[in-house]
């Protein structure tokens, strides 16, 4: 039984050393947005406005955006479905429909991916006037 524990210990040590040497644990994508918020200012009720959030993978491995969630059905998004390679730039477009809205609006958009920062938040703001 003791030999089994010794063998398991050696196997674990060799695996840990190999893992640490090739740096696999550090290979992850990283989402870095140019801007995380955009304010449209005053807009007329019923207007549809759109903003494109630009980002780059500043990590050292590709990542995939699995979902982009919004806080309201009045906000729609478009995002890349293919992997974003290290160093590659991409965009997420958010569209806000102000029909039926009035006053200050703050729409939060949650970006979910397998990057190191697996959840990032961006937002769009507007003041809807009649």
Domains and CATH numbers, the chain: 27-129 (2.60.40.10)
Q: What is the pLDDT of residues 36-55, one digit of tens each?
A: 999 999 999 999 999 999 99
Q: Residue 127 is inside which H or E element, if any?
A: strand 119-129
pTM, full prediction: 0.79
The backbone torsions φ and ψ at residue 63, rounded to the nearest 5 degrees and listed phi first, read: -140, 165
Q: How confident is the model at residue 17 (pLDDT cuts 50, 70, 90)?
A: very low
Q: Residue 5 above 60 pLDDT?
A: no
Q: How confident is the model at residue 7 (pLDDT cuts 50, 70, 90)?
A: very low
pLDDT at 8: 46
Q: What is the pLDDT of residues 67-124, one digit of tens each?
A: 999 999 999 999 999 999 999 999 999 999 999 999 999 999 999 999 999 999 999 9
C-alpha 27/C-alpha 8 separation (Å) is 27
pLDDT at 103: 97
Site of tokens 């997420």 = 92
pLDDT at 117: 96
Q: Which residues, 6+ apart, have CB-to-CB distance to 116 below 8 Å?
A: 28, 29, 30, 59
C-alpha 38/C-alpha 52 separation (Å) is 9
């Amino acid at each position: 039984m003791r030999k089994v524990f010794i063998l398991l210990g050696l196997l674990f040590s060799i695996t840990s050393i190999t893992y640490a040497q090739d740096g696999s644990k550090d290979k992850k994508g990283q989402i870095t947005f140019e801007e995380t918020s955009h304010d449209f200012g005053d807009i007329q009720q019923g207007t549809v406005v759109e903003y494109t959030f630009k980002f780059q993978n500043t990590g050292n491995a590709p990542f995939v955006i699995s979902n982009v969630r919004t806080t309201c059905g009045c906000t729609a998004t478009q995002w890349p479905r293919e992997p974003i390679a290290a160093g590659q730039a991409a965009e997420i477009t958010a569209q806000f429909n102000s029909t039926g809205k009035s006053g200050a609006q703050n729409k939060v958009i949650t970006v979910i991916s397998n990057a190191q920062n697996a959840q990032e938040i961006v937002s769009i703001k507007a003041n809807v006037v009649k």
